């Protein structure tokens, strides 16, 4: 099998039916039931686009996501750690991912995952209340947000002001249904973009349509 | 590297403490409600399948025993056609499929397990009753165990319940009716299962629901803020208000 690099520690496997994989940081660990693939003696984990919005964006053709080996990432809305585990794969042992989750039951899965991965820092807190975790999170290179909240853009901007480095990058997954169900998704996303444009430079924006319904992943740079 | 590792374990400890702080008796109550619901569902499904299996063997007898409790009571000692026929005083000749003794033995086991499930959900209910009574005495007295537990499941805890307006408590659990394009808002949600409502006249149920909801909100406030047992006063007031409706 052939490996084609997408970004640090992330590859396409196979020629005909390609599959996105990330280098498995912890050998033989399957976090959410994904397949493990061995190529030339190294183990990779399948990154399923239906489960993870970041993977869906890569499947939709996004390149140049500014996540690198050794990056420091703040991840809001970590849930049980599906996407977080892949981010942790990408940044490797030298990176750090601070994963904020509000629900304690999902947080338990996250904490258990963190026990196996030394670059994952679980925080059980509300992402809209920065004061709860202000003194334990340093400045970050990348800010990722995947929370289904009405005020998710406001929360993103607040967190970016507090934690994102100048020139840092970010991605925000917008679920138009949770901002306004009655409005058409296009309008909601257009409004969200114009709100983000006031504060950041939007570098890329991709609808995740076959993988996630009415979702948009917007990539930004902190100017 | 070493330092990173140490830091990570600090965060794990901190997050673990946070989780432990947040979990409370409300979560236990919600889980118990879910457990009872699950058991009930399982029992219903199993009973239906069992009934169909027995119908295959003795349709004449089974068709007379459509109520669940009666079916299980009558069939327990009288699994064979002859015994059940004499129990029900009908003839034992049947157009059903002739099952072997081993088949009937299996059915008997299934009946035993289903009645065990029933016992289990009963004991869970009585335990839930004790839990709600010791932790939320006022809510328990005013709403009853079942309604109190379901309200806690729906809104996440007594804290949330105590901050809720009583009009919201009244329709909690009827979100489907509340958010459809119907002409009228629903009169009651899960408080429909309250004893005062179940026994009431159809025409007065809406008014009683309003009174009950207001007292549930009051009881939740007492339970959350003062933690005193004022259940007698609340219950008397509520009952006299309901009575004065007539």
B-chain CB neighbours of A122 within 8 Å are: 11-12, 15
Question: What pLDDT is attached to residue B181?
Answer: 78
CB distance from B15 to chain A under 8 Å? yes
**In A, which residues are within 8 Å of B18 by CB distance?**
104, 107, 124-125
Question: If you average pLDDT over every residue of chain B, what do you get?
Answer: 89
Residue numbers in B near A136 (CB within 8 A): 11, 14
Given this chain, do its domains A3-48 and A54-221 carry the same CATH topology?
no
> What's the pLDDT score for residue B4?
46
* Distance of alpha carbon B235 from alpha carbon B219, whole angstroms: 10
Q: Compute the nearest-CA separation of A154 from chain B (Å).
A: 25
pLDDT at residue B3 greater than cutoff 50: no
Partner A contacted by B18 (CB < 8 A): yes
How many other C-beta atoms lie within 10 A of the C-beta of residue B245? 11
Per-residue pLDDT band for B1 (boundaries 50, 70, 90) equals: very low
Domains of chain B are: 24-135 (1.10.287.4070), 137-246 (1.10.246.90)
Determine the distance in angstroms separating the CA of A19 from the nearest CA of chain B, rounded to an integer.
Answer: 31
* A-to-B residue pairs, Cβ atoms closer than 8 angstroms: 45
Closest CA to B140 of B14, B47, B232, B31: B232
Strands (E), chain A: 3-7, 10-13, 19-23, 36-39, 42-46, 72-76, 96-101, 120-124, 140-145, 164-175, 201-207, 215-221
Coil, strand, or helix at residue A148?
coil
Interchain CB distance below 8 Å, A136 and B15: no
Distances (CA, A) of A167 to A75, A163, A164, B236: 17, 12, 8, 66
Closest CB to A107: pick one of B5, B7, B19.
B19
Taken in order A12, A13, A19, A24, the sign of the CA dihedral is negative
Percentage of chain B with pLDDT > 70? 97
Give the neighbor-by-neighbor strand order of the sheet with A19-23.
A3-7, A10-13, A19-23, A42-46, A36-39
A→B interface, C-beta within 8 Å: 93-94, 96, 104, 107-108, 110-111, 114-115, 118-125, 136
Question: A8 to chain B nearest CA, in Å?
Answer: 20
Smallest CA–CA distance, residue A98 to chain B, in Å, is 9
8 A C-beta contact, residue B31 and residue A145? no
Contacts of A123 in chain B (CB under 8 A): 11, 14-15
Q: For chain A, give every domain's residue range.
A: 3-48, 54-221
- Quick check: helix, strand or coil at residue B187? coil
Going from the C-alpha of A94 to that of each of A73, A137, B4, the distances in angstroms are 12, 16, 8
> How far, in whole angstroms, is CA A179 from its chain's centroid?
19
Q: Is the pLDDT of residue B129 over 80?
A: yes
Low-confidence ranges of chain A (pLDDT < 70): none
Report chain A residues whose CB lies below 8 A from the CB of B11: 114, 121-123, 136
State the greatest distance between any 2 C-alpha atoms of chain A, in Å, as a whole number. 51
Query: What's the Cα-to-Cα distance from B66 to each of B47, B87, B109, rounded to whole Å?
Result: 11, 16, 20
Quick check: B39 and B158 in contact, CB under 8 A? no
| Partner-chain contact B11 A136, CB within 8 Å | yes
Among all chains, which residue has been given the structure tokens 């007031």?
B237
Q: Give residue-wise pLDDT tens across range B96-126.
A: 898 898 999 999 999 999 889 989 999 999 9
Nearest to A104 among B5, B7, B19 (CB): B19
pLDDT at residue number A51: 93
- Ramachandran bin of A14, using left for φ above 0, alpha for ψ from -120 to 50, beta for the remaining angles: left
**Which one-letter DSSP state was computed for residue A5?**
E
| Shortest Cα–Cα distance, A177 to chain B (Å) | 16
- Could you tell me the pLDDT band of residue B81, with boundaries at 50, 70 and 90? confident
- Between β-strands A201-207 and A164-175, what pairing exists: parallel, antiparallel or unpaired? unpaired
- Looking at beta carbons, which residues of chain B come within 8 Å of A94? 1, 4
Quick check: B8 and A118 CB within 8 A? yes
Q: What is the CATH number of domain A3-48?
A: 3.30.200.20
Mean pLDDT value across residues B158-165: 93
Q: What is the 3 state secondary structure string of A39-57? A: ECCEEEEECCCCCCHHHHH
Enumerate residues 111 to 170 of chain B having a beta carbon within 8 A of any beta carbon in chain A.
Answer: none
- Which of B4, B8, B19 faces A124 most closely, judged by CB atoms? B19
A32 Cβ contact partners less than 8 Å away, ≥ 6 residues apart: A51, A80, A81, A82, A85
Looking at residue B5, what is its pLDDT?
45
Q: Does domain A54-221 have CATH number 3.40.50.700?
A: no
Q: Which of A108, A111, A112 is best to mutate for the B interface (most B CBs within 10 A)?
A: A111
pLDDT, tens only, B33-77 = 999 999 999 999 999 999 999 899 988 888 888 888 888 888 888
Q: For helices B68-77 and B25-57, give the axis angle rounded to 10 degrees.
A: 60
Maximum separation of any 2 CA atoms in chain B, in Å: 84
Helix (H, G, I), strand (E, B) or coil at A203: strand
Mind giving me the DSSP string for B202-216? GGGHHHHHHHHHHHH
Long-range CB pairs of B8-11, under 8 A, 24+ apart, other chains included: B8/A114, B8/A118, B8/A119, B8/A120, B8/A121, B11/A114, B11/A121, B11/A122, B11/A123, B11/A136
């Amino acid at each position: 099998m052939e490996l084609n690099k997408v970004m640090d520690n992330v590859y396409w496997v196979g020629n005909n039916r390609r599959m996105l994989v990330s280098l498995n940081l912890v050998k033989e660990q399957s976090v959410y039931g994904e397949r493990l693939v061995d190529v030339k003696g190294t183990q990779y984990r399948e990154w399923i686009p239906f489960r993870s919005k970041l993977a869906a964006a890569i499947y939709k053709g996004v390149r140049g996501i500014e996540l690198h080996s050794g990056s420091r990432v703040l991840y809001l809305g970590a849930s049980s750690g599906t996407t977080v585990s892949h981010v942790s794969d990408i940044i490797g042992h030298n990176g750090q991912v601070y994963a904020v989750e509000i629900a304690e039951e999902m947080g338990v899965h996250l904490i258990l995952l963190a026990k196996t991965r030394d670059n994952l820092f679980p925080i059980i807190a509300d992402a809209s209340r920065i004061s709860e975790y202000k003194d334990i999170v340093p400045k970050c290179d990348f800010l990722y947000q995947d929370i289904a909240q009405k005020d998710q853009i406001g929360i993103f901007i607040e967190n970016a002001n507090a934690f994102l480095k100048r020139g840092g990058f970010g991605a925000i997954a917008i679920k138009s249904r949770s901002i306004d169900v009655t409005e058409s998704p296009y309008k909601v996303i257009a409004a969200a973009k114009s709100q983000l444009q006031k504060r950041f430079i939007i570098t890329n924006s991709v609808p995740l349509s076959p993988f996630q319904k009415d979702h948009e992943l917007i990539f930004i740079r902190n100017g | 590297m070493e330092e990173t590792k140490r830091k990570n374990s600090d965060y794990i400890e901190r997050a673990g403490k946070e989780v432990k702080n947040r979990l409370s008796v409300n979560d236990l109550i919600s889980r118990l409600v879910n457990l009872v619901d699950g058991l009930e569902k399982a029992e219903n499904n199993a009973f239906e399948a069992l009934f169909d299996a027995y119908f295959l063997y003795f349709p004449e007898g089974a068709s007379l025993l459509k109520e669940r409790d009666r079916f299980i009571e009558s069939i327990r000692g009288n699994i064979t056609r002859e015994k059940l026929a004499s129990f029900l005083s009908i003839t034992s000749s049947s157009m059903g499929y002739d099952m072997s003794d081993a088949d009937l033995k299996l059915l008997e086991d299934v009946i035993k397990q289903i009645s065990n499930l029933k016992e289990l959900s009963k004991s869970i209910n009585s335990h839930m009753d004790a839990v709600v009574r010791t932790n939320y005495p006022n809510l328990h007295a005013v709403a009853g165990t079942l309604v109190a537990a379901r309200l806690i499941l729906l809104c996440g805890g007594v804290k949330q319940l105590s901050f809720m307006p009583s009009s919201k408590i009244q329709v909690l659990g009827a979100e489907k009716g509340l958010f459809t394009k119907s002409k009228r808002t629903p009169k009651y949600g899960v408080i429909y299962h309250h004893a005062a409502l179940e026994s009431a006249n159809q025409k007065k149920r809406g008014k009683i629901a309003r009174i009950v909801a207001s007292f549930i909100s009051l009881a939740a406030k007492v339970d959350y803020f003062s933690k005193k047992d004022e259940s007698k006063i609340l219950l008397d007031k509520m009952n006299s208000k309901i009575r004065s409706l007539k």
